[in-house]
Amino acid sequence: MNIGIVTTWFERGAAYVSKQYMGVLKNEHNVFIYARGGEKYAMGNKDWDGSEVTWEKKIPIGMPMSIDLNNFKQWIVKNNIEVVFFNEQQWWDPIVLCNKMGIKTGAYVDYYTKETVPFFGLYDFLICNTKRHYDVFSWHPQVQYIPWGTDIDLYTPKTLSTVKDNIITFFHSCGMSPDRKGTDLLIRAFTKLTGLAELTIHTQIDLKIFFPDLCDIISKLEDQGRLHIFHKTISAPGLYHLGDVYVYPSRLDGIGLTVAEALACGLPAIVPDNPPMSEFIDQTNGKKVDVDKFIDREDGYYWPICEIDQQKLAHAMQYYVDAQNNIEEYKKDARLYAEVNLDWKKNTVHLPRLFFDFKVLPFEERQIINNVILYENRRSNVMAKLYRNFPFVFKPFSWLWPVIKFFYIQK
Q: How many CB atoms lie within 10 A of CB 375?
A: 15
Please report whether residue 366 resides in a domain.
yes
**pTM reported for the whole predicted model:** 0.89
Please report whether residue 31 resides in a domain.
yes
SS3 sequence of the chain: CEEEEEECCCCCHHHHHHHHHHHHHCCCCEEEEEECCCCCCCCCCCCCCCCCEEECCCCCCCCCCCCCHHHHHHHHHHCCCCEEEEECCCCCHHHHHHHHHCCEEEEECCCCECCCHHHHHHCCEEEECCHHHHHHHCCCCCEEECCCCECCCCCCCCCCCCCECCEEEEEEEEECCCCCCCHHHHHHHHCCCCCCEEEEEEECCCHHHHCHHHHHHHHHHHHCCCEEEEECCCCCCCCHHHCCEEECCCCCCCCCHHHHHHHHCCCCEEEECCCCHHHHCCCCCEEEECEEEEECCCCCECCCEEEECHHHHHHHHHHHHHCHHHHHHHHHHHHHHHHHHCEHHHHCCCHHHHHHHCCCCCCCCHHHHHHHHHHHHHHCCHHHHHHHHCHHHHHHHHHHHHHHHHHHHHC
- What distance in Å separates the CA atoms of residue 206 and residue 204, rounded to the nearest whole number? 7
Residues 329 and 367 in one domain: no
The count of domains in the chain is 2
Full residue range of the structural domain in which residue 26 is found:
2-146+349-410
Residues 225 and 269 in one domain: yes
Calculate the alpha carbon distances from 170 to 125, 189, 227, 260, 388 in Å.
40, 12, 10, 16, 49
Residues 224 and 313 in one domain: yes
Please report whether residue 158 resides in a domain.
no
- What distance in Å separates the CA atoms of residue 163 and residue 166, rounded to the nearest whole number? 9
- What distance in Å separates the CA atoms of residue 142 and residue 66, rounded to the nearest whole number? 26
The predicted pLDDT at position 384 comes to 75
CATH number at residue 275: 3.40.50.2000
Please report whether residue 151 resides in a domain.
no
Residues 355 and 379 in one domain: yes
CATH number at residue 93: 3.40.50.11930
Please report whether residue 312 resides in a domain.
yes
Which residues contact residue 44 at a Cβ distance below 8 angstroms, ignoring those fewer than 6 apart? none
The predicted pLDDT at position 243 comes to 98
The predicted pLDDT at position 405 comes to 44
The predicted pLDDT at position 217 comes to 97
- 142, 359 Cβ separation under 8 angstroms: yes
- What distance in Å separates the CA atoms of residue 112 and residue 123, rounded to the nearest whole number? 14
SS3 sequence of 276-295: CHHHHCCCCCEEEECEEEEE
Residues 173 and 308 in one domain: yes
- Residue where a domain terminates, one of 344, 369, 385: 344
Residues 357 and 338 in one domain: no
What does each of the 411 residues of the chain score in pLDDT, given as a tens digit?
999 999 988 888 889 999 999 999 999 999 999 998 766 677 877 888 889 999 987 776 677 788 888 899 999 999 999 999 999 899 999 999 999 899 999 999 999 999 999 999 999 999 999 999 999 999 999 999 999 999 999 999 999 999 999 999 999 999 889 999 999 999 999 999 999 999 999 999 999 999 999 999 999 999 999 999 999 989 899 999 999 999 999 999 999 999 999 999 999 999 999 999 999 999 999 999 999 999 999 888 999 999 999 999 999 999 999 999 999 999 999 999 999 999 999 999 999 999 999 999 986 666 788 889 889 888 877 767 777 776 665 555 555 545 544 444 333
Residues 233 and 105 in one domain: no
- 4, 75 Cβ separation under 8 angstroms: yes
Residues 324 and 360 in one domain: no
Of 287, 202, 301, which is closest to residue 251 (Cα–Cα)? 301
Which residues contact residue 296 at a Cβ distance below 8 angstroms, ignoring those fewer than 6 apart? 304, 305
- Residue where a domain terminates, one of 314, 344, 374: 344
Torsion of CA 139, 140, 143, 145, to 10 degrees: -20
Residues 326 and 195 in one domain: yes
- 332, 266 Cβ separation under 8 angstroms: yes
- Residue where a domain terminates, one of 305, 322, 344: 344
Please report whether residue 265 resides in a domain.
yes
Residues 317 and 213 in one domain: yes
The predicted pLDDT at position 374 comes to 87
Please report whether residue 14 resides in a domain.
yes
Residues 64 and 136 in one domain: yes
Please report whether residue 160 resides in a domain.
no
- 199, 221 Cβ separation under 8 angstroms: yes
Residues 121 and 173 in one domain: no
The predicted pLDDT at position 57 comes to 75
Q: What burial letters (b/e) apply to 78-112, b meaning 16+ CB within 10 Å?
A: ebebbbbbbbbbebbbbbbbbbeeebbbbbbbbbb
